[in-house]
Amino acid sequence: MSMTLMSPAFADGEPIPEKYSRLGENLMPPLKWAGAPDRTRSFVLTVEDPDAPSGTFHHCGVFNLSGDCRKLAESADTQPESGLRFSENDFGNTRYDGPEPPKGHGQHRYRFRLQALDVPSIPLPGAAGVKTLTDEAQKHALAEATLTGTFEVT
């Protein structure tokens, strides 16, 4: 069985509800996954917009999720007790920042990418950017699952 990633908030290829965007409540959507390899020791989650005018824009990077973890609750990035580690996104924040494409720029895709890793943690400071996190995680990836949502400002 291959690894899967899903959200009860939106289906793969479907629009992301406005409350999960910077134009709404800017909440991190709930996520859950299954099918991680037995050797998984941790997970990394990234969110990126490959349709941004200046190239791929990184909205979120979560790392050192326990290998036992199988879900993130809605707004998990605002719950200090969660113990989540975030890298700096391209807005300059160490949290989730949802979709906010330029008005009239058309539909953008937002790719949520979960990687199962063979190491218990990645030793990066939170100030490290999502791109740095992605590059480091790739060195330890056992499996990957994606969920893509869309968003457009008309």
Largest CA distance in the chain: 45
Q: Give the mean model confidence (pLDDT) for residues 14-32.
A: 97
Give every CB contact of residue 141 below 8 A, 6+ residues apart in sequence.
115, 116, 117, 118
Domain ranges of the chain: 4-151
Partnered with residue 44 across adjacent β-strands are: 115
| pTM greater than the 0.85 cutoff | yes
Q: What percent of the chain has pLDDT over 90?
A: 89
Distances (CA, A) of 148 to 11, 46, 92, 104, 132: 8, 12, 23, 20, 21
3-class secondary structure, 134: helix
The whole-angstrom distance between residue 27's C-alpha and the CA centroid of its chain comes to 12
Q: What are the pLDDT digits (tens) for 66-118? A: 999 999 999 987 776 567 889 999 999 999 999 999 999 999 999 999 999 99
Q: How would CATH label the architecture of 4-151? A: Alpha-Beta Complex (3.90)
- Give the tokens for residue 75: 């707004």
